Amino acid sequence: MFKHFSRSLSLVAIITVVCGAQSLRQAADDAGLLVGTAVRPHLFSESAYTQTLAHQYNMVEPEDAMKWPALRPNNSTYDFRQGDEVVRFAQAHRMKIRGHCLVWDHDNPDWLTKDHFTARQLSRILHEHITRVMTHYHGEVFAWDVINEATDENGKVRDSIWYNQPGIGLSEKGTAYIEQVFRWAHTADPHALLFYNEAEGEGLNRKSDAIYSMMKSFKRHGVPIDGVGLQMHVPAIDADIDSIAAEVFANIARLTALGLQVHITELDVPLTVEPDGAVRPSDLARQAEMYRRIVRACLNNAGCTAIQTWGFTDKYSWIGSHSHHTRGAALPFDQTYQPKAAYRALLEELSAGRSPRSDH
């Protein structure tokens, strides 16, 4: 009992120290930037989670609460309770809300993937889903990841239920189905910002070249798209930080030159962890430098308008389970909400503000 009481006091002390200093939120506000994190509404009952979240961030995005399994228990029923909880929390703490995500080939409910719908039926289901969800959150969600990870590692349109298995009637027509969902989304909420969100296309490679070409084509053909989300799950160990930062900066520059916004949407920097969870101090220093350089790449371009991490405390990061606990410690706060070197790097860069040449 005494040990539990001491641990609780320590946690209160940590929160008091972090919340008493300048926050990421204050620094981002001063820099004219959104700083956000993905959240899980069932954790709002944990005071350390909510206090840190509300103090440090001015934007939230649900990890899963606005995905199909949470919203659509069956074809005829919508359940907005989890998503609405995120909205209520954000509104109570004056935070912006990003929606994630309307269309993805992963994480779909069994009734959708196993009922053998025809292309015509899938088109109707998807159109109705986009319209219903965006109408429900009209005026509350300011930006949506309309479609998530629609291209493979080579930049080709990924095989999926929405593209060609069986697709929504635009099978084998390249990016036509992606264009269609953006048009549906714009009709559903003309005021929301619409983003294409992608992984492993942050730097300069075959995939990011394909994304750039797709965005250029969309702009030329009047597809209603406002921006690109760069997920930014980036390594720190054995990585050329200078090269990664330079490529990210160049990629942001060419995307924003098309008239698009860029959001960094899922930033985390996983490290190698020992069986007991320990991390080498030198690795934490490299992690901090990676965070610093990614944030600076964004701040140096006025078209990069938001930086978001995928969670904020190592206590609830997806990295551990995804890597069978060989990697972790990927976020700015450790498992006890203690700010790490990565947090201080974020704060220092945000406090420094945008480059005088960030409009070029």
User: What is the per-residue pLDDT for 217?
Assistant: 98
User: What is the per-residue pLDDT for 17?
Assistant: 45
User: Would you mind telling me the total number of residues written for the chain in this entry?
Assistant: 360
Q: Which of 61, 63, 140, 149 is catalytic?
A: 149
Question: Is residue 20 pLDDT above 70, yes or no?
Answer: no
Residue 115 CA to residue 355 CA, distance in Å, equals 53
User: What is the per-residue pLDDT for 192?
Assistant: 98
User: What is the per-residue pLDDT for 212?
Assistant: 98
137 contacts: CB under 8 Å, gap ≥ 6 = 66, 83, 87, 97, 99, 189
Give the pLDDT mean for 186-190. 98
Domains of the chain: 22-352 (3.20.20.80)
Residue 263 CA to residue 260 CA, distance in Å, equals 10
149 contacts: CB under 8 Å, gap ≥ 6 = 104, 105, 106, 158, 197, 198, 199
- Compute the C-alpha angle 58/348/100, nearest 5°: 30
Mean pLDDT, the chain, rounded, equals 93
Q: Which of 61, 198, 266, 289 is catalytic?
A: 266
CA distances from 260 to 98, 253, 302 (A): 17, 10, 11
Give the pLDDT mean for 34-51. 98
Residues of the chain above pLDDT 70, percent? 93
158-167, 173-182, 323-332: the lowest-pLDDT one? 323-332
266 is a catalytic site residue: yes
User: What is the per-residue pLDDT for 357?
Assistant: 56
Q: Which of 17-21, 198-202, 320-324, 355-359 has the highest mean pLDDT?
A: 198-202
Question: Is the previous residue joined to 298 through a cis bond, with omega within 30 degrees of 0?
Answer: no
172 is a catalytic site residue: no
| pLDDT tens readout for residues 279-318 | 999 999 999 999 999 999 999 999 999 999 999 999 999 9
Give the pLDDT mean for 122-138. 98
The residue with greater pLDDT, 66 or 359, is 66
57 contacts: CB under 8 Å, gap ≥ 6 = 24, 25, 35, 36, 37, 95, 312
**Contact, 39 vs 95, CB < 8 A?**
no
**Contact, 180 vs 186, CB < 8 A?**
no
Reported as half-sphere exposure (CB side, CA atoms, 13 A), residue 309 has a value of 27
Question: Is residue 14 pLDDT above 50, yes or no?
Answer: no
Question: Is residue 5 pLDDT above 70, yes or no?
Answer: no
Question: Is residue 172 pLDDT above 50, yes or no?
Answer: yes
| pLDDT tens readout for residues 204-263 | 999 999 999 999 999 999 999 999 999 999 999 889 999 999 999 999 999 999 999 999
Residues of the chain above pLDDT 90, percent? 87
**Contact, 157 vs 189, CB < 8 A?**
no
Give the pLDDT mean for 69-85. 97
